[in-house]
Amino acid sequence: ENAGGETRLYYAARKGLCAAITWLLEQGADVNVGWPRAGETPLHDAAYRGHCDAAVLLLDAGARVDDRNRYGNTALHRAAAMGGHTNMCKLLLSRGASLDVRNNSGDDPEALVRHRGRTATADLL
């Protein structure tokens, strides 16, 4: 854990460091704990930054696709609205991400995408 409270796995996911993710998972890192202060998991940040290969590793290791951060956003919210990563959205949907989860503001991923003007991603959702 660094000074900001982020786990090593969260940092590796944020940077898309697949070899580090693999090693940390082999060492027993908890795939669903990343940055407790924000309620973010490694999958949230990999999704936000569009690191599909990292997300696959995390999902294969048991990352919960619909976990919410402190704002109620899932990885799909983060990938779609904040990052605009269409390929990541496709991956998350193929792994069972729900389109119906609403965040603390009452927005589902599609509503957030439309609000932010990400039309290509909105069309996917």
Q: Would you list the domain boundaries of the chain? A: 8-124
- Torsion angles phi and psi, residue 53, rounded to 5: -60, -40
In this prediction, residue 2 carries a pLDDT of 61
Chain centroid, CA 91 distance in Å: 11
Q: For 27-124, where are the alpha helices, taking DSSP H only?
A: 42-49, 52-60, 75-77, 86-94, 109-115, 119-124
**pTM for the full model?**
0.90
Instruction: Return the CATH number of 8-124, one of 3.10.180.10, 1.25.40.20, 3.30.450.40, 3.40.50.10540.
Output: 1.25.40.20
Query: Which residues on adjacent β-strands are paired with residue 40?
Result: 35
3 pLDDT above the threshold of 60: no
**Both tokens of residue 100?**
């119906």
In this prediction, residue 40 carries a pLDDT of 93
